[in-house]
Structure 1
Amino acid sequence: MNLFEEGTFDGLETSTRGVFRPVRTRFVDDGVPSTELAAHLAARAAGGAGLIVGPAQMLAHSSASGPSFIDAYADRAVTGLSNVADAVHETGTPIVGQLTHTGAEETGDWRMQPQLAPSPAASDATYEMPKPMSHAEIDDVIAGFGTAAANLERAGFDGVELAAGPFSVLRQFLSPRYNTREDEYGGDWCGRARFVNEALAAVGDRTTGPVGLHLSLAELEYGGYEFEDVPAILDALEGYDYLSCTLGTRATYHMTHAGVGATPPDLREPIETVVDIVDVPVMGRLPFTSVDDAADLFEAGVDFVSFTRQLLADAKTLEKARADQRFDRCIQCNQKCLEGVYGHAHGGHVECVVDPRTGRETQLPPLADEEPAAIPQTVLIVGGGVAGMRFAAVATHRGHDVTIREASDSLGGQLEFAANGAFEPFRRSLEDLEAAVIDAGVTVELETPVTAADVDPSWDAVVVATGATPPDVDEYDFEGEVVNAFDVLTGAEVGEDVLLFDDNRWVITIQTGLELLSRDQDVEMVSRDHYPGFRTEQPNLPEFVAQLQRRGATFTGNHTLDAVDAAGTATLRNTLTGDRETRSPDTVVVVGRRHADEDLYLELDSQRDSVYRIGDAVSPRKLDRAYYDGEMLGRRL
């Protein structure tokens, strides 16, 4: 069995065995799916996914609510759901809708109502104490699953999947942590499975397509069920036509959606256990699933392989892999696919760092369909970092004659600097950007610094992508000597006892701390926040904090560094109380902020027309902005 074989289950035929599994998008308007959602899912179907499962966050009952959820139980959602199904079907791909009820894993803020759950057990993700469901409420929610399933069938969906993973009251009924009931819906596995089985039966009664179950194989929470419980759980469940494997809860999504630096749980052995027990098709995934993982998953016995983030990074991954073509790879940064949704960045909808079209499918056509430039130009790009490389590949594709001049001996800019240690997955981005530049035929001139005098009038346009300058620790005006964190990361020596001051609040602080700890230094990390690097994406931060603590770092939160005297004594001030205390480390390391390297742009802009700047040369920002700036200028020039 391989990824590109045709598949079939319960009457549905798929062109490949690659599945695009449910992703939270926030493409919803007052409980109704938007046109953006239809375009987003259709792009993955057109890109080679044999089956679309989703969208995610479709509610089966009004007792759960939130701004990002689709009210699948409501008649008013059917037209929007029909648009989604039609868009996917136009590609020749089937779509199975996933239903959920959030139970204890959401708050009632949206409609100012209590959250219903099996028992009064709060999720660590929301901290809101839910209301234990009465028998009447159980019956009503079960009926809601049936109503929502009927709505999906009316809308043209080919089947229904029930979510018993994160964000799911179904999983909570199975869980010894969330379900402490003493009636027929609690107790042993058969009792805890009763609610799930009744929901499956209600859906099966109201729809003609396959009914699937998306099941967490372990909760990864203290007091929750574990991988060892899978046989007993599966023995108690019935009424599903296929089983989709996932893991975790909302509170553990930093493990279930393994980001940079994370050591994900191993799902292969539990999946093998599932395959040996059930007699229905199995869909499998890993905490991060790449195309290369498909062979191992098929060897474990799955019938279909589920993808999420990789198909956000390149919607045509499966089509390109089938043709043995290069595709852009997910770098596991979790910046836009998770943080963008949960953190409400850019309106809170799904995006991807390495593909600016993701989440903008209605605004941006596929690059292959982009119109050629009306007037091809000769373009000089100064700087071969992320923004410069992305622009070069896109602009060349549109017919411009592009040259990159880079002062150093390699492309990559800050990405070359960052893609090390825990951030090694970022190297995929560097490699893919370089490959795109080569494939496009861009002229690359390395070790070629550029001044304004070097830019002759023959260039039709100049794009300045010079990035940002490293922090200057002299700006702090400390009396004593301090070491720049950027120098530490390039090998600068420090003493055995280090005080690391986090004035950056992002991942560079984490990188510096891990580098120092790898040298067996004693490290105290001082931050104005509760933790160092606090602005790091929340799906990544818990694991980074754990790594720092496991390796012996100590944290001093809610403090700033006021002074370092000539003897090296550091004065810390509590930002909440104003109290001061001192330290006498061997070395003080400061993690500061970068500044835009804009001098060349300003000089050129004063001398000639058609000068542009992109990326950190505009202002130092995260990786997604560099990709976006390069892409958008390349599309419009």
Structure 2
Amino acid sequence: MSLHEHTTLAGRSVRSRVVFGPHETNLAVGRTLSDRHRAYYQRRAEGGAGIIVAETASVLDNDWPYERAPLATLCGPGWRAISAACVPHGALVLAGLGHTGMQGSSAYSQSVLWGPSRVADPVTRELPMMMEQGDIDRVVEGFRASAALAVDSGMAGVEIDAGPRSILRQFLSGLTNTRADRYGTDRLTLLREVLQTVRGAVGANHVVSLRLSCDEQAPWAGVTPELTVGYVSELERYLDLLIVVRGGLYSTAGYRPDFHEEPNFNRELCRIVKATVSIPVALQGSVVDIADAHEALAHVDYVEMTRAQIADPDLVVKSARGDQPRPCVLCNQTCLVRDPRNPVVTCVGNPSAGFETVDPDERRQELISGPVLVVGGGPAGLEAARIMAGRGAAVTVSERSSRFGGMIRTFAQGKGRSRFAVLAQWLEDECRRSGVTMLTEHTISSSEIDDARGHGDVVVASGSVPRLPTYPVDTSVLWMDPVQALELGGDSIEGPVVLVDPLGGPMAVALAEMLAECGLDVSIVTPDTIVGSRLGMSGDLVGANTRLQQVGVNRVCSSRVRAVVDGVVQIENVYTDVVAHIRCATVIDCSPRLPDTSLHYSGCAGVGDTIAPRTVLESIHEGRRAGFTTGTGFNSVERIDS
């Protein structure tokens, strides 16, 4: 089988075997699907997605799991617009339907959570009410009515969510269902009733898909692969497609983990389930590489590549013509958006994802001519060069080091993080393919910038420099910043090591793991009450602290550094001012670096760390903006440093 092969489901044509699965986007207006939803899905349909499942909509208004969660009764116009936009490109579009039950939120609904039994969600600790027959009937009717509305609104069918956060999975699981009635003695009863009534509502000529958690990773009481085999054998009569996923009450992060989990992790689970059913089965689980997807089709019928298509909406058509899609690095930093900030879904490597109605379309840009000099070959500079070369400019990138990629290339060391190097290499390769002149070990002076400015446009992406310590440090220890530490490597650093982490981000955690795995005695000092506090937004907070504990890293929380004297780091508790001491040979301070001010420039586009400490997302976004607007009256960041 081929990813690009046409298939059919319920008699309906499917352009390819690639699925763009349902996920939170925060693109809703209120609880309705917006025009930004339409543009977001249309872009993936244009890029070759075979099946697109719209963001899961709550089937009852008492289910409001996050602020911008769609509500099915309000989604008719949005579903109609999405279908009209995607179907002409060959995509089969399904409406995602669900209810999160006891794993939802009462913050927005201001009503009690529903659950099969009185079991609290371990995340919110909120105890739900135990549903009575009337409540269960409402859920079944909610799925029926929502499915009927979806197909009446032009959708090709529906996907029913029985995944890690679903009330339907909660009824299947012994972790959450301890009932003594028929919904407890036969835990499949509710899901069976929902699928039966949905099939009756949509008919045989519309698709019914089921997203089913086939392993809750809690074998003492949860759904296991062995139980799933029995479930799907009975349920397949109602289904046209089964999406095999994992995760549950205690393992929601297992559904969409970051790069610390090996890709394609559900392949064996999918193989077990596929062997028991005759209907098509789709593999989900960090499938982001085309070669892996092709290989998976030896065992399954469809491959879900959601994050890969957020990273590059043209993934399918590019792979068909032999081009390399923009890679997904599996970082979860900006595509995992269920948090109080309500960020719009996007991608660190493709900041236009989610902003299709806001950002220019690089496929349809005004041509420019004349030379452009890009100073710095990090992610911001390379993205600017790539876009401008695509617009016809003669672009030169000048990089003072021996390699391109900047900070993401430096960070790409260690297990999993090598995916960042793939992104850096893709940017470099695309620049070369577009005819950009690439110079390494080439230092530009301010006078050369002035000269280049006189003949064309200049984008300055010169990066950052280490920040000096804000506390006294004597010569008894070696002090460095994380970039210097990564360039040295763990084998060249003397221990004990103290990592200072005021940010709570991934850098200090990654360094601590790397150094501890090299056999060094490592401590990490943070002012927060937990190490890696900001990793909760990418789903890695628990995982990071588990890994640090496993490799023996000493975690010192609620503390700040006062001084480094006589081979000792003096720290004080941020709440009590109690002073403690940690002996060390090396201090690595993971504070933000500072902009490189060695170049004087005016009237040039300044992007990335040249402006202020930037994330990968911000750097590439600013590079894109400079690429789109240079030569058309770019509103530059002007700076003259004395």
| Fold shared by both chains (TM-score > 0.5) | yes
Deviations 1:320-340 (A, max 9, x none): 1011112111111111111xx
In 1, Cα distance between the equivalents of 2:616 and 2:114? Answer: 40
1:63-106 Cα shifts (integer Å, max 9, x gaps): 2014221111x2x4312221122111232322111100011211
Q: Deviations over 1:255-301 (max 9, x none)?
A: 3223122346832222111111112111122233422222332222x
2:157 is matched with which residue: 156, 159, 172?
159
Aligned pairs for 1:399-478 (under 5 A) are 399-422=392-415, 423-455=417-449, 456=451, 458-473=454-469, 475-478=470-473
CA distance in 2, matches of 1:245, 1:175: 16
C-alpha change, 1:488 and 1:636, in structure 2 (3 Å) is closer
The CA deviation at 1:497 is 2.8
Cα distance in 2 for residues equivalent to 1:542 and 1:333:
15
Structure 1 residue 533: Cα displacement: 3.0
Using the alignment, how far apart are the partners of 2:394 and 2:306 within structure 1? 36
Deviation at 1:470, TM superposition (A): 2.2
| Residue 86 (structure 1) aligns with | 84
SS of corresponding position for 1:544: helix
Q: Which amino acid aligns with 2:480?
A: N
Equivalence for 1:45: 45
Counterpart residue number, 2:305: 307
Match of 1:510 in 2: 509
TM-score (norm: length of structure 1): 0.93
Q: Where does residue 584 of structure 2 map in the other structure?
A: 585
The residue number in structure 2 matching 1:122 is: 120
1:113-159 deviation per Cα after TM superposition (whole angstroms, max 9, x unaligned): 11111112222333322211111100011111111011101110011
Question: 1:317-328 to 2 correspondence within 5 Å?
Answer: 317-328=315-326
1:554 is aligned to 554
Q: Is the 8 A contact 2:24 2:338 kept in 1?
A: no
Q: Verify the 8 A CA contact 1:380 1:459 in the aligned structure 2.
A: no
Long gaps (5+) in structure 1:
none
Gaps of 5+ in 2: 631-642
Residue correspondence of structure 1 range 313-392 to structure 2 within 5 A: 313-338=311-336, 341-343=337-339, 347-373=342-368, 376-392=369-385
- Please name the residue that 1:528 is paired with: 527
Deviation at 1:161, TM superposition (A): 1.4
Contact 1:501 1:526 in 2 (8 A): yes
Q: Distance in 2 between matches of 1:371 and 1:388?
A: 20
Q: Hey, what's the Cα distance between the residues in 2 that align with 1:250 and 1:402?
A: 52
> Could you say what secondary structure the match of 2:269 adopts?
helix
TM-score of the aligned structures, taking structure 2 as reference length: 0.92
| Secondary structure class of the residue paired with 1:176 | coil
Structure 2 distance, partners of 1:17, 1:633, is: 36
* Distance of aligned partners of 1:229 and 1:109 in 2 relative to their CA distance in 1, 3 Å threshold: same
Distance in 2 separating the partners of 1:207 and 1:551: 53
Within 2, Cα distance between the matches of 1:403 and 1:90?
40
AA of the residue aligned to 1:433: L
Partner of 2:480: 484
- What secondary structure, in the 3-state scheme, does the structure 1 residue paired with 2:231 have? helix
CA distance in 2, matches of 1:496, 1:462: 44
CA contact (8 A) 2:505 2:533 kept: yes
Whether 1:147 aligns to 2:140 is no
Residue in 2 that maps onto 1:395: 388
1:500 aligned partner: 499
- Where does residue 211 of structure 1 map in the other structure? 208
Amino acid at match of 1:231: V
Partners of 2:573 and 2:4 lie apart in 1 by 59
| 164 and 512 in structure 1: CA distance in 2 versus 1, 3 angstrom threshold | same
* Counterpart secondary structure, 1:428: helix
Q: Which shifted more, 87-96 or 167-176?
A: 87-96
Select between 321-330 and 505-514 the one with higher mean Cα deviation.
505-514
Q: Which residue of 2 aligns with 1:576?
A: 575
Q: Secondary structure at the match of 1:431?
A: helix
Cα deviation digits, residues 553-603 of structure 1 (max 9, x gap): 1211111112222x2232221112222222333444433320111341xx2
Contact 1:260 1:540 in 2 (8 A): no
Aligned residue for 1:277, secondary structure, equals: coil
- Residue 265 and residue 392 in structure 1: after superposition, are their counterparts in 2 closer, same or farther (change >3 A)? closer
Counterpart mapping for 1:12-23 below 5 A = 12-23=12-23
| Partner in structure 2 of residue 179 of structure 1 | 177
The one-letter amino acid paired with 2:253 is H
Q: 1:464 to 1:250 in 2, by over 3 A?
A: farther
After superposition, the C-alpha distances for 1:165-215 in whole angstroms (9 at most, x for unaligned) are: 02210111111111111111013xxx1110001111121121121212110
Hey, what's the Cα distance between the residues in 2 that align with 1:448 and 1:617? 18
Q: Which residue of 1 aligns with 2:261?
A: 262
CA displacement at 1:359 relative to structure 2: 0.4
Q: Distance in 1 between matches of 2:108 and 2:553?
A: 40
Partners of 2:90 and 2:266 in 1: how far apart?
31
Match of 2:62 in 1: 63
Asked if structure 1 preserves the Cα contact closer than 8 Å seen for 2:471 and 2:562, the reply is no
Q: Does structure 2 conserve the Cα–Cα contact (< 8 Å) formed by 1:20 and 1:308? A: yes
Cα distance, 1:253 vs structure 2: 4.1
- Once the two structures are superposed, what CA deviation does each residue of 1:350-374 show, in whole Å capped at 9, x if it has no partner? 111111221011123431122223x
Bigger shift: residues 328-337 or 488-497: 488-497
Identity rate, percent: 29
Instruction: Check conservation: 2:13, 2:90, Cα contact below 8 A.
Output: no
- Cα pair 1:2 1:294 within 8 Å, conserved: no
Q: Match of 2:346, SS?
A: coil
Deviations 1:527-556 (A, max 9, x none): 111333322343233323222211111211
Q: What amino acid sits opposite 1:398 in the alignment? A: R
CA-atom RMSD, angstroms?
Answer: 1.9
Deviation digits for residues 398-442 of structure 1 (CA, Å, limit 9, x no counterpart)? 122211111112111112211111311101111110111101111
**SS of 2:447's equivalent?**
helix
Secondary structure of 2:107's aligned partner: coil
Distance 1:282 1:193 in 2: 20
Tell me the SS of whatever aligns to 1:576.
coil
Distance 1:629 1:271, change over 3 A: same
Partner of residue 217, structure 2 = 220
* Alpha-carbon contact 1:258-1:288 (below 8 Å) kept: no
Please tell me whether the aligned partners of residues 334 and 345 of structure 2 are also in contact (alpha carbons under 8 angstroms). yes
Matched to 2:348, the amino acid is V
Q: Rate the CA distance shift 1:104–1:90 in 2: closer, same or farther, 3 A.
A: same
| 1:482 CA displacement | 4.4
Which of 197, 214, 219 pairs up with 1:202?
197
